[in-house]
Structure 1
Amino acid sequence: MRVGPLCGVLVGVLVVGVVVGELPPPDASYKILMLLPISSKSHRNVFIPVAEALAERGHKIVMMSNTAKPMNHPNIHEFDHGVPDFNEDNINMFEARKQKFGGLGTLNTILPAVARKLYKRPEVMKLYNRRKEFDVIIIDHMFNEVAYPFLHEMPFITLVTGGMDHRHSAVLGNVLNPSYAPNFLTDFPAPLSMWHRFINTLGHIGLAFYWRNWVTVPLVQKEITAQFPDLPPLLDIERNLSLALINTHFTISKTMPVLPSEVEVGTMHCRPAQPLPQDLETWISGAGPEGVIYFSLGSVAKGSSMPTEYRDAFIEAFRRLPHRVIWKYEGELKGVSDNVLIQKWLPQQDILAHNKVKVFITHGGLLSLQESIYHATPLLSIPIFGDQPKNALFVKNKGLGDMLVWEELTADALVNTLTEITTNPQYTRNMESVSRPLRDQLTTPKERAVYWTEYVIRHKGAPQLKCPAAELSWVEFLMLDVLAVLLVVLHITIYILYRILRAISAKIFGHQKVKSKRE
């Protein structure tokens, strides 16, 4: 829902007041360690609202990351671990998307290298040796098995930055059914056909097995074992998980069953609009009735790494459109028309909240999707890698906009699709119909994140949250042993019945044969 700048500031103050004021004061000032050694800037942006909300309540936060930035809050200390192997600025996502599993295979080289080097950093080992001084550890659930040694014999929480992940949910004992629950990378229109259910089942099993049991985690485990030979296996440490804060909400994704240990905190980073810089406000306000198109590929996929044919298609399409365009692009760009404004950095949420902005062209990242729905701005999704195709399909199926694929991208396709989205009011109405229930919540996502984090601390890891299914093996969970016994019993029963019937048949028909011979 779009609001004016002044109203947005007032609402923002009220929201902060709810986060800080509705919860009772904490029992004590806790020490909280946050770990995201393998993380993109967008993942860090999910952690920051939690860190700031906890810090506002007097807790002391230490954060180790690979994307550290100066923090203004005195209760937050963030440092960069200094291992350079994962640097998103050096990753070309347009090249990565050509690889299997959306580029995830590159992590099979990066993660073992980080695991090998991380604990050789003096500052990291100093933090590791004093880890038990902290009351709880919060860790990014994705790609961060390298930090699991910190979690040994410690209560810990995962922040599920990418939304519901079937692999991670299974760790807590909530095994999602592939008949309707999407896997991490793909989704299909509901209800799923038999073929889609078959493919989805393979995705559920294959992705989990590939990552956890076959390739990725075993490679990391080898490096960790070499340095910590007495440490339990990483996946055994993971089973001690107390709570998952999931970056999603049932109004903006497929509704899934959740356990008490799974708390939805999606859109924590979203906020009401703040006043735009004067140059941007002037540009947007002067757009006329056609309005503005906003174009950004997020923090990882740089516009400057876009293949030339796609870049030229955008330049040509924007030249043919009557709208003004704001394009986040890192570098100089020649040949753009006068209706295009290019900047290296932009206040995305403040732009999306402006009532002159008609559509957001995006790569389909989860945070951008959440911001668009929060501010009710229709979308044109052009997914690049990871879970973005799944997000783009959600946009299309819900009528929140449309999607294109890079291989079929042309100036004509862009002009036609953008014209449809900006002139058809149904997309805005659909966005508003999703945005309203998203905002209609009894408590704020930040408040839930703070409450449940403190809950885990107060109750010493909160073992009462744990589902018994988390302790079962796959054989026990799927009742394969019980089914095997039932099959044996059934086989024996059928065999006994067969022998009885054969004996009765032999007695009856054998007697008849003897009688007929006598006659």
Structure 2
Amino acid sequence: MSILFKLCFLVSAASAAKILGVVLTPSYSHQIVFKPLWRELSLRGHQVTTITTHPIKDRRLVNLTEIDLSSFLNQSSQHIKQHIGVAQKSFLQELQHFVITMTGLMDQQLDYAPVKKLINDKEAQFDLLIVEYLWGTPLAFAHRFNCPFIGMLSLDGSNRVYKRIGNPAHSSLYPDQMLPFGNELSLSQRVVSFMYDLAFDVYFEETFAGMERKVVEKHFGSDCPHIPNLSRNISMLFVDSDPIFHHNRPLVPAVVQIGGGSHRSVPKPLPKELQSVLDKATNGFIYFSLGSNVKSEFLPDHTIDLILEVFAELPYTILWKFGEEITNKPNNVIISKWLPQEDVLRHPNIKLFITQGGLQSMDEAIFSHVPMVGIPFFGDQPYNVKKLVNKGLGLELNYQNLEKNHFKETILEVINNPRYRNTIKKLAELAQDQPMTGIEKAVWWTEYVLRHKGAKHLRSPLLDIPWYQYLLLDVIGVLLSVFLVTLFSIVFMMRSLIRLIARSKLVVKFEKKKSS
């Protein structure tokens, strides 16, 4: 028995790997999808080191080492606060603002002493990098440690991301997540979607890569490959999507969908006081939260007052995630700086979830069968809420022109019309009917990449052909040339034949005239 135990230990030790996880976006919604993966990989014996703004801080995870970047959270929060209440920007302006902000922030994060120490540690080695594939700068860690890498996203991949790994992306079928279009596009929306993708391919991709290049050279040296070249070396991409909520699209083998609740936790009891309040809400309660990035206290005062007026007229208890005291709140409104969202959504008395449209929040509501009213602000939120409405899971409101009667009518419509809850229930049942959970797929494919020291054999052939071949321009050119040559030949032959016939007629006419 002891020999068998030693053999098992040796086998497990041999399969253990050193994994570096890098997620620099200072947002809980971006980090939450990664946490279960770090936990599971460390429990399986792998030595996991993470650079994160939201560390797990679980001493039982002895194989997990975390470099804590939580000190950078305040900067992100201030940027979002400035964004709320300002005139709405175009999606291109928003995108440029996010990239400029994040590029500056990543520069500071890489300058953070523990991160800089890891980068400069000549003894440090890793077998695999798992990195948030939203930004190009962190991909330099793969070059620094000469290891394969897996990209991971807390949302579905954008068209530019899919193009980077050689996955088909069609602007009319799959509009970018920064475009608030949903799935079925009108002609004008298809034109905008095409021009957006074209602008990104021709201008923005190169511009953003140039901005990030300066940061990469500063922290990783001038010998580091350019970001577009680094991004093409990806072994695999994990996207937080599934074919039920997200639009069906063709995927190359290197793309693994881990959506459908991969971040959700096991049910836990609510705090006693909160449990008592919700149990007593016999008419039901509404849960209102704008997520971890957009905070309700960032809303303009007049918007908060309007919301409170509506809540005061509703026959429901309102549970509102709000970071400050509200002096004029109605008796049916309960505020709290923090709430265990998943377990709140699981309570049987819940009637409605008012959300900003974050993907993880919507996912939790779907699996708890809770209809929603979406109030999107920026990023992929308008896109997500459009999907929510198109699939019949709830309705949408615009926070910039919120009107009292419309707000109240929208809430009551979603609560009182059973079709929203019934549709959500059917959708959740479809999403759960699959052979593996998202986290199980992520772990299996992570260890697959480790076993094979990368996954170049899954590389898409689209990465190895020039763009004009992918668009069939050379084939179209050949066919067009053949067509034109054939057409020219036919025209030439017809003209020659006509001339010949004309000459023959002249000869005959001349002969007749001569004989007469």
Q: TM over 0.5: same fold?
A: yes
Task: Using the TM superposition, give the Cα deviation of residue 85 of structure 1 relative to its aligned residue in structure 2, in angstroms.
Answer: 9.4
Which protein, 1 or 2, shows the higher relative CO under an 8 Å CA cutoff with sep ≥ 6?
A: 1
The amino acid across from 2:173 in the alignment is Y
Specify the SS of the correspondent of 2:294.
Answer: coil
Following the alignment from structure 1 to structure 2, what is the Cα–Cα distance between the partners of residues 76 and 90?
A: 31
Contact 1:32 1:61 in 2 (8 A): yes
Amino acid at match of 1:425: P
Partner residue in 2 for 1:4: none
Per-residue CA deviations over 1:416-458 (Å, capped at 9, x if unaligned) read 1111111122211111111112222211111111000010010
Q: Do the aligned partners of 1:64 and 1:80 also contact (CA within 8 Å) in 2?
A: yes
Q: Does 1:493 align with 2:486?
A: yes
SS, match of residue 400 in structure 2? helix
Residue 465 in structure 1 maps to residue 453 in structure 2: no
Q: How far has the Cα of 1:26 moved from its partner?
A: 8.2
Q: Which residue of 1 aligns with 2:130?
A: 138
Q: Alpha-carbon deviation of 1:374?
A: 1.2
Any idea what the Cα deviations from partners look like across 1:290-324, whole Å, max 9, x if unmatched? 20000000011111110122211110010000000
State how far apart, in whole Å, the 2-side matches of 1:276 and 1:129 are: 45
Name the structure 1 match of 2:139: 148
Q: CA deviation at 1:231?
A: 1.9
Aligned to 1:89: 77
With the length of structure 2 as denominator, give the TM-score of the two structures.
0.89
Does the CA contact (< 8 Å) of 1:111 and 1:146 recur in 2?
Answer: no
**1:343-422 matched pairs, under 5 angstroms:** 343-422=336-415
1:216 is aligned to 208
| CA 1:222–1:287: 2 relative to 1, 3 Å | same
Aligned partner of 1:6 in structure 2 is: none
Letter in 2 for 1:403: E
* Residue aligned with 2:286, SS: strand
Q: 1:180 aligns with which of 173, 181, 187?
A: 173
> Which residue in the other structure is 1:75 paired with?
63
Cα contact 1:380–1:401 (8 A) shared by 2: yes
SS at match of 1:250: coil
Q: Which runs of 5+ in 2 are unaligned?
A: 1-10
C-alpha distance in structure 2 between counterparts of 1:273 and 1:69, whole Å: 18
Q: In 2, distance between residues paired with 1:465 and 1:484?
A: 31
* 1:63 equivalenced with 2:17 (yes/no): no
Structure 1 partner of 2:5: none
1:81–1:123 contact (8 Å) kept in structure 2: no
TM normalised by structure 1 equals: 0.89
Aligned residues: 493
Amino acid at match of 1:148: L
C-alpha contact 1:148 1:238 (8 A) present in aligned 2: yes
Alignment of 1:198-237 (within 5 A): 198-213=191-206, 215-225=207-217, 228-237=221-230
| 8 A contact 2:172–2:190 mirrored in 1 | yes
Instruction: Tell me the residue number matched to 1:9.
Output: none
Q: Is contact 2:183-2:387 (8 Å) kept?
A: no
State the match for 2:290 in structure 1. 297
Question: Which segment drifts farther, 117-126 or 382-391?
Answer: 117-126
- Structure 1 residues 512, 424: CA separation in 2 closer, same or farther (over 3 Å shift)? same
In structure 2, distance between residues paired with 1:67 and 1:458: 29
| Structure 1 moving runs of 4+ over 6 Å | none
C-alpha distance in structure 1 between counterparts of 2:493 and 2:222, whole Å? 61
Q: Is the 8 A contact 1:85 1:114 kept in 2?
A: no
| Percent identical | 30
Cα distance in 2, alignment partners of residues 111 and 408 from structure 1:
29
Q: Which amino acid aligns with 1:218?
A: G
Q: Which of the residues 302, 306, 318 maps onto 1:313?
A: 306
Structure 1 residue 115: deviation in Å?
A: 5.3
Secondary structure of 1:391's match? Answer: helix
- RMSD between superposed Cα atoms in Å: 2.4
Instruction: Give the superposition deviation at 1:111.
Output: 3.9
